[in-house]
Amino acid sequence: MRTPSTHAPTFPWFRRLSLVLLVAMLAACGGGASDQSADDSVATQNTPLVSGKTELDAWADYADSGQTLPMPTAEEEIEAQLGVAARLNRQELEAARQEANQRKSAVSGQATAKAFVGEVLAYRFLNTRTGAHFYTVSEAERDQVIETLPQFHYEGPAFTVSTTPQDGLLPVYRFFNTATGVHLYTISEAEKAHIQANLPTYQFEGVAYHASAVGGVGFKPLYRFYRPDRGFHFYTASFEERDTVIDTACAYRFEGTAYYVLDASATTEPPAAYINSVVMVVGDSLSQGYGVSINGNPYSFVTKGKVWTETLASAIKTRTGHNCNRVVNVSIGGMRTDQGASRIQGWVNQHAPTHVIVALGTNDAWQNRSFSSMQVGLNAIHRVSQAAGSRVYVMDFAFYPKGTAYRQSMTGMYQQVAANNQSTYFLGSAGVPATSTYYHPDSVHLKDAAQPTVQENVWQALLPTL
């Protein structure tokens, strides 16, 4: 058995053509206002320029700047791979559960706890320097840690497993994270293979002990959490502790049941866990508000702290009474639907969202891309998000600069995408008057005054599923 690491790990977003050119340079474009309150007179019209071109013609000159999205960092790649690994474990346990239920349906009689040989206790320590936990089934190692590593606070026996291979139990594999000094445990063969193939910082240490992939009489779930900011996992067999961590330790992401450990007194499954909501926003400058655009230029259309995504992050905690509900904003000024589709898999893997708000298409419209191409990107985002179990919302910022017919057609495209994918459509700019109080001169970017209305529209769309 490897003695626990003692080091503390380091971890580390216009007036006529000049305004159009500014947006093209920033490559950070966004939406509009509601049809009910709209006044198209504030929108940029298709009027002739001195050169003889119209502004719509001029946009075509900037159809594609050639800029691509920033590549994910090494840390983001690792987090995404760990997200895939956790999902593989959940899927394998779910398949085992369904198979076990099919077998049970063919057998009558009262189930009784099976006796296993080689039962041992797993002991738990808290590293007071890093906040990570260490687990061992070795009494000798337990005693050595107590005697020689004072920074490790002994918390006592955590759960029971077996060191002996036998019918009804499967091997639990242990990996050592060489970057953090913390272990990862899995019973999933698919997760084991994925880690070995994609996460070289996780050193395979072999079989730690044996447990079950299914519950039932004589078994209780061992729950698994992951802390992204520190890069380590936490395990508990107590559903009371599980609920406390979910409710109060917001830095930890609940990953479900790791596997089932032995408990002769267990007869029923514990109460289901409350799942914190993770709302991921995939948008452009209308969702980012300020920052650095896709081409690396800094921009600011909304005051820091007043963007609807920022205020939603607070509202989702206070209005639900769950302080660990959160918003993850991956929006980038200038991002198109095809670019969002190219990154959605990594974002879903990394952040494990329960809800995905797709607020893209404005940059496609600026660049005169077809509605059919927008649909391709939006459909791809739906497929990936829904395959991971996320609810998807299509957010429309009504696009004014190309006139009423174009705006209505674009809205119809969004509604069709939502209907085809059985997701939810809503108009994010509903109720925002199309005046200079709420819109910048481009008739696209929303000012500070519009942000509370947008946030409320998003809240009302999310509310039924929060």
Indicate the SS3 state at residue 266. coil
H-run or E-run covering 314: helix 308-318
pLDDT at residue number 432: 97
Neighbours of 363 (CB within 10 A): 30
What the block records as the tokens of 244 is 């406390």
pLDDT at residue number 104: 77
H-run or E-run covering 22: helix 16-26
Residue burial 133-171, b: 16+ Cβ < 10 Å; e: rest: bbbbbeeebbeebeeebeebeeeeebbbbbeeeeeebbb
pLDDT at residue number 62: 41
Write out pLDDT tens, residues 363-380. 999 899 999 999 999 999
pLDDT at residue number 68: 80
Rounded (5°) CA angle 263-264-267: 90
pLDDT digits (tens), the chain, 466 positions: 455 554 333 323 223 333 333 333 333 343 332 233 333 344 433 333 334 444 444 444 444 566 788 889 999 999 999 999 999 999 999 999 999 988 876 655 555 678 899 999 999 999 999 999 999 999 999 999 999 999 999 999 999 999 999 999 999 999 999 999 999 999 999 999 999 999 999 999 999 999 999 999 999 999 999 999 999 999 999 999 999 999 999 999 999 999 999 999 999 999 999 999 999 999 999 999 999 988 888 999 999 999 999 999 999 999 999 999 999 999 999 999 999 999 999 999 999 999 999 999 999 998 999 999 999 999 999 999 999 999 999 999 989 999 999 999 999 999 999 999 999 999 999 999 999 999 999 889 999 999 999 999 999 999 999 8
Q: What count of Cα atoms within 13 Å lies in the side-chain half-sphere of residue 378? A: 33
Going by DSSP bridges, is the β-strand pair 326-329/278-283 parallel, antiparallel, or unpaired?
parallel
Question: For the chain, how many residues are written?
Answer: 466
Residues in Cβ contact with 51 at an 8 Å cutoff, skipping those fewer than 6 apart: none
Distances (CA, A) of 37 to 40, 121, 391, 402, 435: 10, 67, 29, 17, 10
Residue 253 one-letter amino acid: R
pTM of the model: 0.86
CA distance 462 to 391: 10
Write out pLDDT tens, residues 163-209. 999 999 999 999 999 999 999 999 999 999 999 999 999 999 999 99
User: Using an 8 Å Cβ cutoff, are 253 and 226 in contact?
Assistant: yes
pLDDT at residue number 24: 37
Residue tagged 């080091």 (tokens)? 7
Going by DSSP bridges, is the β-strand pair 298-300/290-292 parallel, antiparallel, or unpaired?
antiparallel
User: Using an 8 Å Cβ cutoff, are 312 and 279 in contact?
Assistant: yes
H-run or E-run covering 373: helix 371-387
User: Using an 8 Å Cβ cutoff, are 241 and 232 in contact?
Assistant: no
pLDDT at residue number 115: 86
Q: What count of Cα atoms within 13 Å lies in the side-chain half-sphere of residue 259? A: 26
What the block records as the tokens of 362 is 């404005």
